[in-house]
A and B are shown apart, each in its own frame.
Chain A
Amino acid sequence: MPATEPMLTLVGKPTSRVDGSLKVSGGARYTSDYHFPGMLYAVPVSATIARGKIASLSTAHADRMPGVRAVFHHRNFDKLYRTAPDLKAEALQSEQRPPLEDEVISYYGQYIALVVAETFEQARAAAAAVRVTYYAEPASVGPPALIEGSLKVESQRGDAPQAFSDAAIAVDETYATPIQTHSVIELHATVAVWQGDQVTLYETVQGVLNHQVVMTQRLGVEKEKLQVITRNLGSGFGGKISEWGNSCLAAVAAKRLKRPVKLVISRQQAFAAAGHRPRTEQRVRLGANKDGRLSSLQLDWTNSTSLLDDFVENCGEAAPYLYSTPNMRSRSGLAKRTVGAPTFMRGPGAVPGLFALESAIDELAIRLDMDPIALRQANEPTMDESTGLPFSSRHLTECLREGSSRFGWPNRNPKIGSMTRDGLVLGWGVAACAWGAGRLPCAVRVDLRADRSARLACGTQDIGTGTYTILGQIVAERLAIPLGKVDVVLGDSSLPAGPLSGGSLATASVIPATFRALDDATASLLASAARVGNQFWNNAKPTDLAFTAGNVHLKDEAPASGRPFAEVLQRAGLRSVSGAGQSDGTLFQKPTSSVHCFGAQFAEVTWQPEIARLRVSRIVSVIDSGRILNPKTGRNQIEGGVVMGIGMAIFEETRYDPRNGAPINSNLADYLLTSHADCPEIDVHFLEYPDLQVNELGAKGIGEIGMAGVAPAIANAVHHATGIRVRQLPIRIEDLLGAQRSAGRI
């Protein structure tokens, strides 16, 4: 922490959410909570084949059903447009084909019609009455096999294959992760309201600005005529960045019928047609010398994608910079499957990629008879060897050291099945983790008001991470007013353009713009103060004045001698002064350093061979992601990531019917998620090294890093307990039955 930095009294302190009391009393408004006079209800009809064409679609019965106002399909729907190539991450969109474009079906669950009626019940009944026949083609939902000739090089240095064949110790294993579905608790929804040629879309999106750009392109309307609102989001995990058809369908239906339309998809539709993390197959080859120094690291992967979209799950996100090795290569491949478009899901690429890499590192440590922490420390790089740039801030070895001591790792006996507690076999595993960091462009407006309150407006959104609260903290700290006196207004595309809430980028992005907006408002305040200077400061010029701790004062006098900003505004006859701030993004600039967050995950599992019962009993998560602005909500983010990581390790998998490509377990009971009863004790610890290359407060994102590394830590712990190396997630009881036999327990 720089010595010149003022003491922070609110930023960095555990702070309850400013929107908390609304959320616990049912008053926080989510998209499907909006109602408008004359509102109609829309229910989409979904395809029931994996691939082919609509042979016939009859609405004769549905049209005549009570309350039905329209049944739309590819023959009578409006022309919609595709989105332009997105070069600046301003219009992220996973599924390019708009809904109801033509009669072609490329996945089970693709929307083929839309029923709009006076009530939800009427629309749902009529949707079931739409008759469709198909020319069906076979489904293709198998694993994405690695095909050597089709791989594309993503990162490369040295000669990794040669170094691998020369290596004294080698690991060559293939790992697989299944399709996982976000299972956001709030179903994707749109409420579309037209007034003349202007449309307001109440949406479930992680980026109101991103969605505005996507929808102006989709609908072919001007940006100033399309407003997107998401005041609260019932979780996203990356699955609510793209438009999934519901928005287009509701917008067009509302326009055609000249009435507001509400569309909430069903849970089954969310599994089929609203994105997922694609399936991956990853081959990791590690070469090392006998001291454990890596001489070669290769990660080749193929991920599944939809027939119409090329979505690369970047499994090689962390491999190029995580460890020191002179020879490294990562390559990617795609496998077309009859599934809906894949999309970003918490830690896209890095999370499945780290499962493979960190499992392989554990396998290498066993082959070397070396402690897995020592092996990682032996390969700690001094710079990002993939780019030659220095790290802006990297404390991975300290994460491992701190986690080791908190977890009790020095007491670990590496012999398989050697540790027990209360009659249970214990397994202890560790994994490192990393995720990119940086900023997106951001604009912020701040008003200082004469009633000693303030307002901050930004077109970003709070997706449950606590953005409302941290922005309130920053403004309240700077103005020395209570947190409750700051109105933070987010979630509206008509506000100054803010970042999407994805990639763990929002927090880092909003800080510089907020600081500049506060500076700008301060300048305006001082100019106003100079205007009334004869009353307080004997005709001082703005340049003679300063603003400190909420008070305007003469520069050469103590802040306490000054006047509160509210009093200055009152004397000047002003209701408020405003400031605007803008900051650029880092993602498309030439980088001068390599910016990431890091962490170490420690997992304990208990294994009961007699009844083949595996539980995750303890997680220690040590995170290095700069300054934590709000440890209360920050800890919650990491805990949430860990819980999702446990789901990835031992529960989650979307399974598809090979006959018709239908997601089989498309509900919250059959798609297994970590429940409260599955949650272990989670110890979250932050190493707080502010990364001042990112922003003034040195804060980086923490939305994704908490999930990274959890699944391999658990898989490594399972191996320690059972001797079984599971390389295909999720880890199932069936995988571990061999361990029972070898332990002589059955």
Chain B
Amino acid sequence: MRKKTEETERGHKADSPVVSRRFLLGHIGAVGVVTTRASAQGSPGTPIRPTSNTSEPARNSGYVPVQLRVNRSLHNIQVDARTTLLDCLRESLLLTGTKKGCDHGQCGACTVHVNGRRINSCLTLAVMHDGDEVTTIEGIGQPDNLHPMQASFVEHDGFQCGYCTSGQLCRRWLFCANLVAQKTMMSRN
């Protein structure tokens, strides 16, 4: 219900595909087509960024339009129905701070926040998140503006290779944010 309202608010066409369970099951394992990544300039060594937040239209029914609000910025993209949220963030939106460690929901390196909840982004498909609000490590703090939790990880050397650190931070950041919220509520009561 909530989703539908948001779609209307954003002015989606009435016939935009609604992702149903049946639709998904029908497309998992089926064939997709053509990359929809926006073309961009870049030389070797310089990772590219999409030139716009709006991608080309899908050229096949295997692709589904999805609107994601990631780190407060809106992305209207076409995704292969088989694409996990993790691969969508990394390979389509080029937000590579979120990491793939196992692709099976076992390690947590891919943890992101969706609508304020922590999830393993490798265990969910991007098409299931139309209209959702996603926060990744890039949205928590930047090198010159670290969140206190990030600064604390540096101060206490809470990592070595740093590969799964994004996932650990995303997990703890929300945990602590919830604790603070709870405490505030309790002290109010």
Q: For residue B41, which residues in chain A have a CB less than 8 angstroms away from its CB?
A: 37
**Interface code B129-154, partner A: CB below 8 Å = 1, 0 otherwise?**
00000001110111110100011011
Contact B153 A36 (CB under 8 A): no
Considering residues A19, A28, A465, which has the most beta carbons from chain B within 10 angstroms of its beta carbon? A28
171-211 of chain A: CB within 8 A of chain B: 185-187, 193, 195, 200
Partner pick for B137 among A26, A37, A125, CB 8 A cutoff: A26
Contact A23 B159 (CB under 8 A): yes
Indicate whether B23 reaches chain A with its CB closer than 8 angstroms: no
Indicate whether B39 reaches chain A with its CB closer than 8 angstroms: yes
Indicate whether A708 reaches chain B with its CB closer than 8 angstroms: no
Indicate whether B25 reaches chain A with its CB closer than 8 angstroms: no
Indicate whether B7 reaches chain A with its CB closer than 8 angstroms: no
Indicate whether A120 reaches chain B with its CB closer than 8 angstroms: yes
Indicate whether A658 reaches chain B with its CB closer than 8 angstroms: no
Knowing A26-B166, A30-B163, the reply to whether A121 touches B87 (Cβ < 8 A) is yes
* Alpha-carbon distance A698/B88, docked complex (angstroms): 48
Knowing A35-B47, A66-B33, the reply to whether A187 touches B100 (Cβ < 8 A) is yes
Chain A: interface residue count, which band?
A: 35 or more
Q: Tell me whether chain B's interface is mostly helix, strand or loop, or mixed.
A: loop
Q: For residue A195, which residues in chain B have a CB less than 8 angstroms away from its CB?
A: 44
Q: For residue A29, which residues in chain B have a CB less than 8 angstroms away from its CB?
A: 47, 96
Indicate whether A267 reaches chain B with its CB closer than 8 angstroms: yes
* Alpha-carbon distance A438/B29, docked complex (angstroms): 52
Name the residue on A nearest B138 (C-beta).
A26
Contact A24 B153 (CB under 8 A): yes
Contact A119 B80 (CB under 8 A): yes
Contact B87 A120 (CB under 8 A): yes
Considering residues A24, A119, A636, which has the most beta carbons from chain B within 10 angstroms of its beta carbon? A24
Q: For residue B146, which residues in chain A have a CB less than 8 angstroms away from its CB?
A: 21, 24-25
* Alpha-carbon distance A67/B157, docked complex (angstroms): 44
Contact B34 A67 (CB under 8 A): yes
Q: For residue B162, which residues in chain A have a CB less than 8 angstroms away from its CB?
A: 19, 22-24, 28, 232, 234, 464
* Alpha-carbon distance A17/B80, docked complex (angstroms): 39
CB distance from B90 to the nearest CB of A (A): 8
Indicate whether B18 reaches chain A with its CB closer than 8 angstroms: no
* Alpha-carbon distance A466/B159, docked complex (angstroms): 10
* Alpha-carbon distance A353/B67, docked complex (angstroms): 56
Q: For residue A26, which residues in chain B have a CB less than 8 angstroms away from its CB?
A: 95-98, 136-138, 166
Indicate whether A563 reaches chain B with its CB closer than 8 angstroms: no
Partner pick for B104 among A66, A234, A235, A668, CB 8 A cutoff: A668
CB distance from B13 to the nearest CB of A (A): 25
Contact B99 A30 (CB under 8 A): yes
Partner pick for A121 among B42, B44, B82, CB 8 A cutoff: B82
Q: For residue A23, which residues in chain B have a CB less than 8 angstroms away from its CB?
A: 154, 159, 162, 165
**Interface code A252-272, partner B: CB below 8 Å = 1, 0 otherwise?**
000000001000101100000
120-141 of chain A: CB within 8 A of chain B: 120-122, 125
Chain B: interface residue count, which band?
A: 35 or more
CB distance from A631 to the nearest CB of B (A): 10
Q: For residue A633, which residues in chain B have a CB less than 8 angstroms away from its CB?
A: 157, 160
Q: For residue A466, which residues in chain B have a CB less than 8 angstroms away from its CB?
A: 160
Indicate whether B65 reaches chain A with its CB closer than 8 angstroms: no
Indicate whether A118 reaches chain B with its CB closer than 8 angstroms: yes
Q: For residue A36, which residues in chain B have a CB less than 8 angstroms away from its CB?
A: 42, 44, 47-48
Indicate whether B161 reaches chain A with its CB closer than 8 angstroms: yes
Indicate whether A221 reaches chain B with its CB closer than 8 angstroms: no
Partner pick for B163 among A27, A185, A668, CB 8 A cutoff: A185
Name the residue on B nearest A195 (C-beta).
B44
19-57 of chain A: CB within 8 A of chain B: 19-30, 32-37
Contact A235 B154 (CB under 8 A): no
Contact A25 B96 (CB under 8 A): no
* Alpha-carbon distance A635/B156, docked complex (angstroms): 11
Indicate whether A463 reaches chain B with its CB closer than 8 angstroms: yes
* Alpha-carbon distance A409/B142, docked complex (angstroms): 47
Contact A27 B83 (CB under 8 A): no
CB distance from B29 to the nearest CB of A (A): 7
* Alpha-carbon distance A67/B137, docked complex (angstroms): 31
Knowing A121-B87, A669-B104, the reply to whether A232 touches B161 (Cβ < 8 A) is yes
Contact A125 B32 (CB under 8 A): yes
* Alpha-carbon distance A133/B43, docked complex (angstroms): 42
CB distance from A674 to the nearest CB of B (A): 13
49-102 of chain B: CB within 8 A of chain A: 60, 62, 80, 82-83, 87, 90-91, 94-102
Indicate whether B15 reaches chain A with its CB closer than 8 angstroms: no
* Alpha-carbon distance A193/B144, docked complex (angstroms): 32
7 extra interface residue pairs, beta carbon distance < 8 Å, beyond A37-B42, A67-B34, A466-B160: A24-B141, A36-B42, A185-B164, A232-B162, A234-B162, A266-B103, A668-B104
Would you give 10 A-B contacts (Cβ < 8 Å), ordered by A? A20-B159, A29-B96, A33-B47, A33-B90, A36-B44, A65-B31, A119-B80, A125-B29, A186-B99, A234-B161
- Residues of B whose CB lies within 8 Å of any CB of A are 29-35, 39-42, 44-45, 47-48, 60, 62, 80, 82-83, 87, 90-91, 94-104, 106-107, 109, 136-138, 140-144, 146, 150-151, 153-155, 157, 159-166, 169
When A and B form their complex, which 10 residue pairs have the shortest distance between CB atoms, in order from nearest? Answer: A26-B97, A464-B161, A234-B163, A23-B162, A20-B154, A33-B96, A26-B137, A464-B160, A24-B150, A21-B143
